[in-house]
Each structure stands twice: as C-alpha cells, then as structure tokens.
Amino acid sequence: MIFKTGKNQKIFWSVVAIFIILIFVFLQQPIRSVFYSISGSLESWCWEKGQSDSSFWAGFFNAAHLKIQNQNLKQENQALLSNLLDFKELQEENQRLRNALGLGLAEEFNLKEAAILTEDTTRDYAVIDKGKEDGISEGMAVITYEKVLIGKVVEVYRNACQVRLITDFGTKFGVRVADTNVPALAKGQGNKNLILDLIPKDADVPIGAFVSTSGPEGGYPAGLLIGTVSETSNADAEPFQKARIDNFFKIQDADLLFVIID
C-alpha cells in the first residue's frame, strides 16, 4: 500500500540504496571476515582440488607432444650422459643449500604457517587462512619454505588475511642482484610480472643472476629470494638499466606459506 505512488517507491528504493552503501562503506571488513570464516574450509578444499586438477590437465594436454619430445630426448640423451657426473655434484650441492636454508629459516624468523584460500581474478592478491586470531597484522611479509618472497599482508580478518603479491601493479621494493651486488628497485607489473628498475647504467647484470631483497629499508627483511634475471635492456635514451625477472614463486604451485611474525 505504501508504494501506491511512484514517488513513495522512489523514496523507498533511495533509502534502500543509501542503506546498502552505508553497509558497504562501514562494514566492509566484518562482512568479509564473516564470509571467510564460514567458507574457509570450502575455499581451501577448492584450492587444493584446483591445484591437483590443473596439474593433471597440464600433463594431459602435453601428452600430445610426447612423441616428438621422446624423439628429441633420445637425441639429447647421449649428450646428457656425459654431463651426468656434473649434475650429480650439483644435485648434492643443491640439497646441501636447501638444508641450510631450511635450518636458517626457523632460526632467523618467527613464522606462522599458512595456506592459500583464494586468489583475486583481476589483481595479484591472494587470501590466506591466518588472521587476527593467529597474531597476523598488516605489513607482515609472506614467504615460502625456500625463503622466496611472496608478498605483504594488507588487510587482516578474524581467520584470514589478504596478501598483496610482490607482482601486483604498483608494488615497489628494494632488491640486490647477487654476485655483482648491484642495487635496484623491483616493480610489480601485474599478471605475475616483475621488473627491475633504477639499475645503474654501468652495472653488470648477468642473465640468470639471482635477485634478493636488499633489507628493511626496501620494505622487506634482507636476503629473501625473488627470482632470476631473464632479460635486460640498456637503452641509450634511458637514464637507468631495466631488467625482467623470472619469479621463483608460482602461486598455483604453492602448498605451504609462512608469515613472518617478527
């Protein structure tokens, strides 16, 4: 009856719209917090299922190329046999390094174990299953077991938190190129891409060189791994060199993450 006239109806819908906007503005965090609490286990299950299924389908689609790959592998096999000894030595060295990193990680930082729940479809953000109740707060760095940097906590809910990945558009932090010790600024480009900027023109940045965080002044603890240099550009018109990074962290393959509590 109260919506008998068009005017009353307009007033009603305007009030509803204002009410919804106010809810969205002031109750943003509690609403998200409640939903993540309710659906945490379902999201986690979906993430794990998606991870295993995507690996399966990737293998399935690659099966078409197996025959060609097999022929190529046979040809390469002879050449590779001669390098087998070198590879074995490298494997042992790799294992030793992994052990060293593993030991250092627990001693170096106070960590909280976490798992990914969801990933944003339009930005490089992810939600992990640890929140206020676990002592998580904004600004904390998120890494993997291998000390690879993933991102920073930007919003905390009761049982979950949002992590801005280092590759998100607009992220900037200080890094250092290993071996040559060249300082640079890492910039997120979105879509899991990361570049290095502000590299001195005369600096030597070899392809394949490791890149790690430079220290707290760069926004993260020092020595966290980022990736390897995959491409460099040193245009005359540009005041600095630039480089593209091949990230170590692949969010789709991530099983376990750690939040650095302090």
Which residues contribute to the site for another protein (CB under 8 A)? 21, 24-25, 28, 31-32, 35, 39, 42-47, 49-51, 53-54, 57, 117-123, 125, 127, 154-155, 162, 164, 169-170, 190-191, 252
* Contact call for residues 206 and 179 (beta carbons, < 8 A): yes
- In this complex, which beta carbon is closest to another protein, that of residue 163 or of residue 186? 163
Could you tell me the smallest distance in angstroms from the CB atom of residue 178 to another protein?
30
- In this complex, which beta carbon is closest to another protein, that of residue 32 or of residue 158? 32
Q: Under DSSP, is residue 139 helix (H, G, I), strand (E, B) or coil?
A: coil
Could you tell me the smallest distance in angstroms from the CB atom of residue 169 to another protein?
5
Could you tell me the smallest distance in angstroms from the CB atom of residue 114 to another protein?
15
Number of H helices, E strands in the chain: 4, 13
- In this complex, which beta carbon is closest to another protein, that of residue 12 or of residue 45? 45
**Can you say whether residue 127 is alpha, beta or left, with left for phi > 0 and alpha for psi between -120 and 50 degrees?**
beta
- In this complex, which beta carbon is closest to another protein, that of residue 118 or of residue 212? 118
Could you tell me the smallest distance in angstroms from the CB atom of residue 54 to another protein?
4
- In this complex, which beta carbon is closest to another protein, that of residue 39 or of residue 234? 39
With b meaning 16 or more CB within 10 Å and e meaning fewer, what string describes 36-73? beeebeebeeebeeebeeeeeeeeeeeeeeeeeeeeee
* Contact call for residues 213 and 220 (beta carbons, < 8 A): yes
Q: Please name the amino acid found at residue 253.
A: D
**Separation between Cα atoms, residue 236 and residue 242, nearest integer Å:** 12
Could you tell me the smallest distance in angstroms from the CB atom of residue 7 to another protein?
18
**Separation between Cα atoms, residue 188 and residue 16, nearest integer Å:** 40
Could you tell me the smallest distance in angstroms from the CB atom of residue 107 to another protein?
33
- In this complex, which beta carbon is closest to another protein, that of residue 45 or of residue 87? 45
